[in-house]
Structure 1
Amino acid sequence: MDKNSSVEIIMYSHAYIELFGILLTIKRKSMVRRFLLMWILVFTCVIVYPQENCNEIIKQGIREYSKTQTFSNDYLKTKQAVKDIYDSYQMDKDVGKASAKYAGVFKGKGSYSGEEIEKVYKLYWSEDINIKEITKDNSYESSYIDPNFVELYKTCVQGNQNNVSFKINTYGEKMSNISITAQYKSNNINLRPKINSVLVDTTEIQISGSLWEQAKKGGKLNEVLTLNASRKDINPQDSIFYPDQGRYVLAKPIRLTLQFSSFSSTFIFPEIPMPKKAIELKKGIGEIVASMMTKAQFYDEYGDGWMLADGSPAPLDSPYRLHIGDSIPDLRGVFLRGKNHGQDSIKGNPEKKDLGEFQEDAIKRHTHQTKVLRDVPKNSLTPNVSAYPYRAHKDEKTGENEDGAEETRPKNVTVNYFIRVK
């Protein structure tokens, strides 16, 4: 315990003794006495929060350090902690670190994914959530979030005290940091760069031959320094990030210096050009695109902001629900057309054509009826025609054989329609 902590505890102890003395002078059944007694009971459960030492935190790691410290864990503090972690995650996500893991952030697990961080954020900050329902179950505080981490994180990292990054079992680089990982072998060292703790998939550079001999004499890898690597050069936004595989490739060359105890050597890692997509899907909520991709392919390429237009309910957190409706339209087997008020729902494509399959125009099978006059009645203009027998004249109907398809349709190609929901 440091000096500041001791001073705080002494001050609180004096206050406690004075308060207890006042309590003894008040009548036994007084409301003031009851209130002070309740306050003292609460006070005895509150542990003084000591001034933190970043050096010790970073040296021990948050897990080990927190075992010897105690902190308050009320709901408001937890809620703010959730927001701080969420904001930090969004910053990482914006620079391409979409699959960041925050080890030690949440209690009960070693790390939580970005998706889980977003889930907890919505739990505490969504206006649709009933706060009373959340606070009714204290397991949210104990299971999901460790507010101690946030306080230490802000103090030691965001405040940049001791000029170090926060350590949670593993080293976490800042956004502009890039380094080299070295794999030692019997006759060489393979080098690969890293961005934000993620290995970069690029051509490996080997230290071999005379340089390898020099490296052996120079001792173990001592330090990794950057040379001519400005933020612009190494910004992860200028790199290609594959979140499903957790890896980067370089969009620009980087030049790095490997520093040994007795010598250094500079290496240039080549760029890997960023592939250009044929289409950028950045449309507004409710807009529709046609695609030859399958549902799985489309989601993998463009994310969960889009849904197959199959009549499913819109996501609960989707702006689509706020601006358009609870369900997305069912566009399976139908053509898009201008709005027609009062038109009934139409279902089509009975032959279930595959994606991309051409379909001829056709007329739906149907039957025509024709009226035929069987005999001609006499009239005043034909006096010399013999009279017809007195009987009724009948109209008879004839039927034609039906022919055609299951529906009437123009020529068409089957596609998948996707609609923007986020």
Structure 2
Amino acid sequence: MHLLYEEGGDIKVATVQSASGSGDTESWQATSLSGKKIKLKAKEVWLRFEKPEPQALMDEANILSKEIDLQFLWDCAPDEEFGLVDVAQEYFGSQASIPQQTGLAIALQGAPVFFRRKGRGRFQRAPLEQLQAGLAALERKQKELEQQLAWQQELVAGVFPEVLKSQANQLLFSPDKNTSAYKALIAACTESGESPAQLMIRCGAIDSPLQYHQGMFLKAHFPQGATHDPSLAVDQAGLDAAISELPLAEVTAFSIDDSGTTEIDDALSVTALDGGGHRIGIHIAAPGLVIAKDDALDRVARTRMSTVYFPGDKITMLPDTVIAQFSLDEGAARPALSIYVDIDAAGVVDKETLQLRAEMVPMGSNLRLENL
């Protein structure tokens, strides 16, 4: 004798080796199609039969299950709970065969949108509203799968889908692995034997390996993005109040940087002294004058620690608006922290003359290395 049962949501068949008990307490030692030894209780068994043989039964039943019209079956099913044998006789006729009943069991078990499972071999059709919602979801899923396949084919062919171009960086560096776009990318990579970066470079979605490595750097060190929050700023009134009492330095300072430097954060001054020698000034831009401990700008500055420089670009520690307010640009006096020390004509430093103060430093020139 053979037994039809359900395990892990799948319909299976086992061949009885021995039996014990009777009625509701009956149980069997059986061997599954895979050769696994199992014990089944009466409450777990859907059907008992002698023929056909298990493998032949499952082969035929799987084919029949795909031919069953689930919508028609739902239309014909009663509102109340029903059993497998009853609905099989309604669908196939009073002489429904074991393969037909098994095929129907597979179809019902695999159609939760149409039928709710109510226990061993028993079901109830889903309410109309639930059915309509489920069918709409299945239709959306099918369209997503079709779109995913279309994108996959384009990617393998070396064409990056136009609609995905705005998502290129996200797909490569911070993907949502549940999206159709990511699944299409991974499927295309599997088919082509490339990594996502290699495929996207071939498709022109990213320009070069350099862009990829820069993107990986940003993902590792700036996971929230390298762009500053637009709200991070110093209002003019706050700046004016911070520098209103700073003295004006009696020097004219200059900076020396390459032409790509836009944030001038240090400068020098040299002043001749009466009686010989010179006073050397080192002037450091002082945005700290308007940054309070633990305020938004302080948190950003402490997190970033410094500006990040790399070939052709940089990621600034502070927002551009704040840099513009404190950069030691030529043509105006800028707030700075100044250090002064005197040296004699022989270049010997007089440590007793060391001075440190905050002041407004007149900037005479921003010299560029290329022009020196």
Q: TM-score, normalised by structure 2?
A: 0.28
More strand by share: 2
